[in-house]
Amino acid sequence: MNRSGAADPPYPDAESSRLKPLAVPIKPLVVGGETIPHNKRVRLDLPVARLPTGTQMSLPVTVINGKKPGPRLWLSAAIHGDELNGVDIIRRVAKALQPHRLSGSVIAVPVVNIFGLLEQSRYLPDRRDLNRSFPGSGRGSLASRLAFLFMKEVVSQCTHGVDLHTAALHRVNLPHVRADLENPATYTFAQAFGAPIMIHASHRDGSLRQAAAKRKIPTLLYEAGEALRFDADAIQVGVDGIYRVMAYLGMYAPPSSLPVPVTQESRQTRWARASRGGIWHRSTHLGEVVKQRQPLGFITDTFGDKPVQVRSPIAGVVISYGQNPLVNQGDALVHVAGVGEL
């Protein structure tokens, strides 16, 4: 549903959203010093740094340059090295795309934080968060250098971007998109993706999304599933969403079986937090519609005594929750997104 409550078309276009026609880059596509010909798929490894053993670590990139010119879309995943759903989303999309049917280009980077992936960790070896290190510097920390390389070789080449994430460790997310919904180009881009919920989210300092916004590149952050796990449903929603945005951009015809999305819009989210430490007994589930003050579960001591109810801070839809039953006072337990009048 759109802001007026009317049903949205399956794929918003530039005319219906009253936007200017999408810009088509005219410069040659050059990644890692290599010019990518039209109608070609090229696999590149961009050198990042050497490990203490001397082993060269490289950023794996697949560039699919279409037969015809058009928008350039980057797909990135595993900026946090333990967030894996996006890795498989990109694998499925990049493997299926046929250059002769593509207008424009797709730059696919399934693992940005290669160091974190190897360690099964959110962070880089120096414990820095890569998604707080953009746009980076060629002379900074390892995180800063990796962010700088990604901006230079990938983001600077593109007109649009989709960055794929999961919940942090010990949490799980309902599939949703986070974006600057106050920006008209980004708003229709988010609509086109067709996730169950699209959430207005301001830019965090040092994030990839903020760095891209400063270059006026519409960027979506897709959140779904949990760390260190593949979630088949979350992966499929992500694959479908990428096909929809490519259709919206006029880059690729979507599969005939692609379902028409039903998207809700949220401008407010709140966490229900633990008022005491103890054992958390959750009674809600992802996607559940809840009322304000509705019980979401309760906290007890180890014997199950002295239960304390945890209630929803707002009316809305449950988009995330913590999975660890051991909680401390103040821990985030259930995340609720307000979606219209509930």
pLDDT at 25: 78
Q: Which is nearest to 327 in space by CA: 271, 268, 269, 286?
A: 271
Indicate the residue among 264, 295, 323 that finishes a domain. Answer: 264
**In-domain check, residue 14:** no
- Name the pLDDT band for 261 (thresholds 50, 70, 90): confident
Report phi then psi at 186, rounded to 5. -70, -35
71 pLDDT band, cuts 50/70/90, is very high
Q: Quick one: 126 and 47 in the same domain?
A: yes
Pair 276, 316 in one domain: yes
* Per-residue model confidence (pLDDT) at position 23: 67
- The answer to whether 166 and 115 have CB atoms below 8 angstroms apart is no
Is residue 122 situated within a structural domain?
yes
Given 264, 296, 318, which residue is the final one in a domain?
264
Mapping DSSP to helix (H, G, I), strand (E, B) and coil, where does residue 22 land? Answer: coil
Q: Specify the CATH number for the domain of residue 167.
A: 3.40.630.10
User: Does residue 6 have a pLDDT over 50?
Assistant: no
Burial 166-178 (b: 16+ CB within 10 A, else e): bbbbebbbbbbbb
**Range with the poorest average pLDDT among 9-18, 54-63, 187-196, 321-330:** 9-18
CB 266 within 8 A of CB 339: yes
Same domain, 174 and 220: yes
What's the confidence (pLDDT) of residue 275? 96
* The amino acid at 11: Y
Give the integer Cα–Cα distance in Å for 223 and 176.
Answer: 5
Query: Residue 25 has what DSSP assignment?
Result: -
SS3 235: helix
Would residue 141 count as lying in a domain? yes
In three-state secondary structure terms, 105 is strand
What is residue 341's predicted lDDT score, i.e. its pLDDT? Answer: 57
Which pLDDT value is given to residue 277? 97
**293: domain range?**
267-338
The structural domain count of the chain equals 2
Q: Give the pLDDT of residue 234.
A: 98
SS3 content of the chain, % helix, strand, coil (to 5): 20, 30, 45
Q: Is the pLDDT score of 64 beyond 90? A: yes
Tell whether 105 and 245 lie within a shared domain: yes
In a domain, 1, yes or no: no
Q: At 58, which helix (H) or strand (E)?
A: strand 56-65
Instruction: State what percent of residues in the chain have pLDDT above 90.
Output: 87
For residue 268, give the amino acid letter: Q
Interval 7-52: pLDDT, tens: 344 444 433 333 445 667 778 999 999 999 999 999 999 999 999 9
Give CA angle at 255 (252, 258), nearest 5°: 120
Are 305 and 218 part of one and the same domain?
A: no
pLDDT averaged over every residue in the chain = 92
pTM exceeds cut of 0.75: yes
| Mean pLDDT to the nearest integer, 170-186 | 97
Model confidence pLDDT, tens digit, residues 100-125:
999 999 999 999 999 999 999 999 99
Residue 342: CB atoms within 10 Å: 12
